[in-house]
Amino acid sequence: MRLRAYSSEGVILARKNYSEADRIVVIFSKSYGKVRLIAKGVRYPKSRKRGHLEIFTRIKYSATKSYGMDILTEVETINFFENTRKNLKKTALAYYLVEVIGRLIAEEERNIDLYYHLLKTLTKLETATNLKTLRKDFVSDSLKLLGFWPRTKIMDDPDKILEEVIEKKVSSARVGKRLLT
């Protein structure tokens, strides 16, 4: 028997407007991996969920199983990463980090180590000064955690390995790399 309602915490990886007032939200959750939920009515100005659904925000949420896409019923912000959002370079890097995670993992792929790795990196980003090193270490460690690279082997060019693994350029990388060089 499948659960009708469930809840977890997670980091918002992406969002996309859907129909007149809805939004599809992709969350990397602690308990369920990468999930895609529909947030009904969230684009209305009076929606209470609206401010909680920003990319790279850490949230606590509840959802209900549905025939199509599961429906987001409640959401609460745990960490908005406010210091990161005040700095353009850090914001660009945060977008890059969540895009990398979104491309590396499949729907409903649960990986608790990768989840905590993302949280740790987003938290470090709040006070980090060497953003280029933080970015490269994040990509390298993520690839190793997912088994795309041996843990003991040194990775000379994490960006190149990442592009080979996902078979595509990370679109936010262009912005992130320009700002970090």
* CA dist., res. 91 & res. 129, Å (int): 13
Count Cβ atoms within 10 A of the Cβ of residue 161 and give its class: 0-12 exposed, 13-18 middle, 19 or more buried.
middle
Residue 45 and residue 48: Cα distance in Å, rounded? 9
Domain 5-79 in CATH: superfamily? Nucleic acid-binding proteins (2.40.50.140)
CA angle 96, 63, 60 (to 5 degrees): 55
pTM of the model: 0.91
For the chain, the structural domain boundaries read 5-79, 82-180
Both tokens of residue 137? 């270490």
Residue 38, strand partner residues: 24, 71
Taking only the tens of pLDDT, the chain with its 181 residues reads 355 899 999 999 999 999 999 999 999 999 999 999 999 999 988 888 878 999 999 999 999 998 889 999 999 999 999 999 999 999 999 999 999 999 999 999 999 999 999 999 999 999 999 999 999 999 999 999 999 999 999 889 998 999 999 988 777 655 555 555 4
